[in-house]
Amino acid sequence: GQQLNQSPQSMFIQEGEDVSMNCTSSSIFNTWLWYKQDPGEGPVLLIALYKAGELTSNGRLTAQFGITRKDSFLNISASIPSDVGIYFCAGLSGGTSYGKLTFGQGTILTVHP
């Protein structure tokens, strides 16, 4: 099936630093989603991107839908301890109305105070 390569696999940063992570694929996607999973909880949607080239912000988070439709990145500015968690990208290809997403492997973020 389709695969998403998400990097980095893990990050250890100091509070206040900026963070960048990305997802790439050999396949084209029509929608890119970014989720965050807090420890012991299910993933929660952060940002949804529906158009190639789209740049969307949600507070300190910024995500972009790559112009080739094969990649997306997520930036977090001025990290804080509650940013800790696992971040997942997910892509939706055309031809389905069932929301069958393909997920990346996740980026584990640790923020040191």
* Binding footprint of other proteins, residue count (CB under 8 A): 26
Q: Write out the two tokens for 99.
A: 């929301």
Q: Figure out which of the listed residues 33, 49, 76, 109 binds other proteins, where binding follows CB under 8 A.
A: 33
Number of residues written out for the chain: 113
- Say whether residue 85 binds other proteins (CB under 8 A): no
Q: Figure out which of the listed residues 18, 28, 44, 67 binds other proteins, where binding follows CB under 8 A.
A: 44
C-alpha dihedral sign at 101, 84, 14, 64: positive
**CA torsion, ordered 59, 65, 102, 61, to nearest 10 deg:** -10
- Say whether residue 39 binds other proteins (CB under 8 A): no
The residue behind tokens 């949804």 is 48
Is 83 strand, coil or helix?
helix
Q: Figure out which of the listed residues 16, 28, 53, 100 binds other proteins, where binding follows CB under 8 A.
A: 100
- Say whether residue 105 binds other proteins (CB under 8 A): yes
CB-nearer residue toward other proteins: 19 or 46: 46
- Say whether residue 104 binds other proteins (CB under 8 A): yes
**CA torsion, ordered 47, 53, 57, 63, to nearest 10 deg:** 60
- Say whether residue 92 binds other proteins (CB under 8 A): yes
Q: Write out the two tokens for 90.
A: 């997910």
Question: Can you give the binding site for other proteins, defined by CB under 8 A?
Answer: 1, 4, 6, 9, 31, 33, 35, 40-45, 48, 88, 90, 92, 97-101, 103-106
